[in-house]
Amino acid sequence: MDRVLEKFDMPMLKGRNVFMDFSNFQGTDVGYATVALRAKVAQTGATLVTSADKADYVMEVASGALAMEHKSGLVGLPPLPVPQAGLPTPEVPFYKSIEQTAIVKLLVFVHAKGQFVAADQYYAKSDRDEGFILWYRFQREDDIREGWDRADMKLTRKAAESVTGSK
């Protein structure tokens, strides 16, 4: 979601009252996505209002995709149940692979009293691909963690700016 919001650009919202309609917004982690998008719109200089009647613009948001795909493969011994015990045996991988793909696609439609103002689609994808040989872990690709690191750097920079009072 953060990568999609980096691309978000609707300068016509600045100084306007905007009602955000999320009734067609569905998928995994909708709560985070909703708050992140509301924060991004407010950051553009728009004032968020709670009713379409009070708005200059109505922004409808729909998700074409908001999901995580997870695939894994194992050559070795999976966890096995142990009779009379509450815990299974540990997994013993000779080789194991794990692939994760996060996909976000948003449609944003802005209108004023039914008149078209703007519409745009935003798309982002992140991948994480790692493997294990015995207990040695290696990563072939991990741009999900890169996103976490970028977000952490932004938070650290903002905290430092608030302490020093500089930008």
Helix (H, G, I), strand (E, B) or coil at 21: strand
pLDDT, mean of residues 64-91: 90
Task: For the chain, give the mean pLDDT.
Answer: 85
| Residue 152's pLDDT band (cuts 50, 70, 90) | low
Average pLDDT over residues 107-125: 90
Select the highest-mean-pLDDT range: 46-60, 77-91, 96-110: 46-60
Residue 46 confidence (pLDDT) above 80:
yes
- 1-18 pLDDT, tens digit per residue, is 778 888 888 889 999 999
Q: What is the pLDDT of residue 97?
A: 93
Please tell me the predicted confidence (pLDDT) of residue 150: 65
* Domain annotation for the chain: domains and CATH numbers: 2-164 (3.40.50)
Euclidean distance between CA atoms 49 and 20, whole angstroms: 8
Higher pLDDT, 35 or 66: 35
At residue 67 the predicted structure's pLDDT band, cuts being 50, 70 and 90, is confident
| CB proximity list for 8: less than 8 A, separation 6 or greater | 37, 40, 108, 122
Which has the minimum average pLDDT: 16-20, 87-91, 136-140?
Answer: 136-140
pLDDT at 162 over 80: no
Q: Are strands 17-24 and 92-112 parallel, antiparallel or unpaired?
A: unpaired
Whole-angstrom CA distances from 112 to 23, 34, 43, 76 are: 18, 21, 20, 60
Contact predicate 102/68, CB 8 Å: yes
Question: Cα separation of 41 and 52, whole Å?
Answer: 16
Strand duo 17-24 + 47-48: pairing? parallel
- Residue pointed to by tokens 């905290």: 159
Residue 13 burial (C-beta neighbours within 10 Å; 0-12, 13-18, 19+)? buried
144 pLDDT tier (thresholds 50, 70, 90): low
Residue the block writes with tokens 């080789």: 95
pLDDT at 26: 85
pLDDT for 167: 57
